[in-house]
Structure 1
Amino acid sequence: MSIICAQETGLTAEEYTACVGQSALGPTRPLSNAERVQAYLDNSNIVVTARDSNGTLVGLFRGMTDWGWVCYCADLAVIESYQGKGIGALLMNKATEILGPGVTIALLSLPGAEGFYQKIGLTQTGAAFYRDRTHRT
């Protein structure tokens, strides 16, 4: 299996939805609202993709960063049939490489995924807080 990870611009809502919809993140994202999905893709300033040898999107890292201190990882998703092959770790490593050694990656894990993040070397903290959005679609 050959997987290529690279930073991309111009990812479409259609490709994103096809990938994320086949991952654990799918139910937590507004995939039926293509306009909203495209808006958050267009306003993310780092997108790293994992594509198979056919060019099919099988995973992605989407984040927002200031390029000097921190990057918030909003999505780290791998299609379920490709999970367990190291693609999530490849995506995180490629994002880390692109961001450089001075930038921390922060994220909120879905319940149950904490073990994956620990396995790939992220440090867990119990001090995360968030304000929920007011609209859900």
Structure 2
Amino acid sequence: MSIICAQETGLTAEEYIACVGQSTLGPTRPLSNTERVQAYLDNSNIVVTARDAAGTLVGLFRGMTDWSWICYCADMAVVESHQGQGIGALLMDKAAEVVGPGVTITLLALPGAEGFYQKIGLTQTSAAFYRDRTHRT
């Protein structure tokens, strides 16, 4: 397996959709709305990709960080045909390298993915909260 992980700028919505659409994360993202996907890519300040020897995007980490204290991982996906090869761990390691020492990476896992994140060294907490995007007051 020859996989190259690197920080990238300018990832297109089309590449993101092709990758995430082949992962378990796909059904949870608005992949039919290219404009919205491009907007959230444009407004993320860290994107780490995993590409195979042919340059095909096979995984990605997308987040927002202050580069000093915390990085919120909004997406981490590996195409299903490449899962189980350590690509997710490579993405997390590269993201940690990019944000630097002293910066915590945090994320919300899809139900059922908790074991994967524990396996790659993340600590689980029961104190996470979120306000759903459809919430109205």
The normalised TM-score by structure 1 is: 0.97
Paired residue for 2:17? 17
Paired residue for 2:64? 64
Alignment of 1:115-134 (within 5 A): 115-134=115-134
Q: Where does structure 2 lack aligned partners over 5 or more consecutive residues? A: none
- Partner SS for 1:127: coil
Deviation at 1:134, TM superposition (A): 2.1
Alignment of 1:80-99 (within 5 A): 80-99=80-99
CA distance in 1, matches of 2:71, 2:99: 8
- Partner SS for 2:60: strand
CA distance in 2, matches of 1:26, 1:95: 21
Q: Considering only aligned residues, what root-mean-square deviation do their CA atoms show, in Å?
A: 0.8
Give the 4+ runs in structure 1 shifted more than 2 A: none
Paired residue for 1:78? 78
CA distance in 1, matches of 2:43, 2:102: 22
CA distance in 1, matches of 2:99, 2:15: 24
Report % sequence identity: 87
- Partner SS for 2:58: strand
Paired residue for 1:34? 34
Deviation at 1:55, TM superposition (A): 0.3
- Partner SS for 1:35: helix
CA distance in 1, matches of 2:120, 2:88: 9
For each residue in 1:41-100, what CA deviation from the matched residue of structure 2 results, as whole angstroms up to 9, or x when unmatched?
000000000000000000000000000000000000000000000000000000000111
Q: How many residues align?
A: 135
CA distance in 2, matches of 1:114, 1:46: 23
Deviation at 1:101, TM superposition (A): 1.1
Is it true that 1:7 corresponds to 2:13 in the alignment?
no
